[in-house]
Chains A and B, each alone.
Chain A
């Protein structure tokens, strides 16, 4: 229906998450209407981000250098690693201003249901880091979903000998009620976890 060049752009845009063929068409026509000065910066930004941005050699966060800003910051606690599924999770934890240690991005979570095994994640690198960097605490901040829980259990198994040797402790962020939430509407799983993890006042 469209010229091959236009169709190619529609096809490429519809590969993006949340973009269907209809939205891809709308975006394509919008881009076609723009002047070259307005449209080309998007193309340049795409090329630049793919050429410049890469994964940190140490923690697999996104960076433009060999090591990310967090790994280069020697003022942070070098003996604790917070394990997250995706680079975006680091931003959420940083916004809390409660944590000043390092991170390790797994690149996803173990999912027995979808056939995602440990070899597809940066789990071996985590064990290497704990050994080489003499880490004292690993905080497993994977999502509280089945895949995230499976990953947390796997990490505990993999690092158990460090815990048994008394050199490492493994923790998991508390699961509970969101601030501003109403107890009446809390689901049973979350409320159960919140009660199991209650603390002294």
Chain B
């Protein structure tokens, strides 16, 4: 078989309608990172692949690379559907946040098996979680860990500008970490205040495994602040 064909494990991270009955699927693949592919005829009710290409599905996919940047889906086998994510609105909303982070954070074709495995673990945990706060914690932790894997780990123990241990004021996405009172002015307009609880939550989420998140009692206010840290960091580094 020609080298234009290849098979890889892939997670469906986005899908949009295209042409009469086709879809353009965005995938995060184990071997080539983020790619887009045309799945022909999958919107027809008799398509045998349509149901396998919904977002959050983990599949083994055969692809063909044509002349352009778009691949063509040749065959799909389901590995796991993670149906639990689609069964509850709160899981779906949190899952959407995670997939959106992946779409923005990763550049084009750049494979990262650890990021792929982390993403699959994050979605697996999300599909099993019982309540909305746990779902939010799992997705927040997964996004944070993805940032760490990409080399954008936020500095949370000392001032990201001067390295001092002085009283910490807030977070600067541009400097990539917390800043102390005396560095606030130099940190720029994007710097925002952060409570001590939020800094502790940031450290907890970075250090604990995804399996442990459900047992943590996360403070709502601190979690909201960490959400801002992650969202702003993603916006700063995203593509």
Bound CA–CA A140/B49 (angstroms): 24
A-B complex: 3 closest residue pairs judged by Cβ atoms: A112-B96, A189-B51, A187-B51
9 A-B pairs besides A112-B97, A144-B51, A187-B50 with CB distance below 8 A are A112-B92, A112-B96, A113-B14, A146-B15, A150-B86, A157-B89, A187-B51, A188-B52, A192-B83
Closest residue on chain B to residue A175 by CB atoms: B51
Q: Which residues of chain B are within 8 angstroms of A186 by Cβ–Cβ distance?
A: 48
Bound CA–CA A137/B89 (angstroms): 22
CB 8 Å contact bits of B55-72 with A (1 = contact, 0 = none): 111000000000000000
Instruction: Answer yes or no: B215 CB below 8 A from chain A CBs.
Output: no
Size of the chain A interface, CB-CB below 8 angstroms: 22
Shortest CB distance A33–B (Å): 26
Once the chains bind, are A189 and B55 in contact (CB under 8 Å)?
A: no
Once the chains bind, are B92 and A153 in contact (CB under 8 Å)?
A: yes
Bound CA–CA A110/B155 (angstroms): 37
Once the chains bind, are A154 and B89 in contact (CB under 8 Å)?
A: yes
Once the chains bind, are A190 and B89 in contact (CB under 8 Å)?
A: no
- Our count of residue pairs bridging A and B at CB distance below 8 angstroms stands at 59
Instruction: Answer yes or no: A181 CB below 8 A from chain B CBs.
Output: yes
A contacts, CB < 8 Å to B:
18, 112-114, 144-146, 149-150, 153-154, 157, 178, 180-181, 185-190, 192
Size of the chain B interface, CB-CB below 8 angstroms: 29
Shortest CB distance A178–B (Å): 5
Bound CA–CA A145/B78 (angstroms): 16
Once the chains bind, are A113 and B51 in contact (CB under 8 Å)?
A: no
Q: Which residues of chain B are within 8 angstroms of A187 by Cβ–Cβ distance?
A: 48-52, 78
Q: Which residues of chain A are within 8 angstroms of B97 by Cβ–Cβ distance?
A: 112
Bound CA–CA A192/B51 (angstroms): 11
Closest residue on chain A to residue B56 by CB atoms: A146
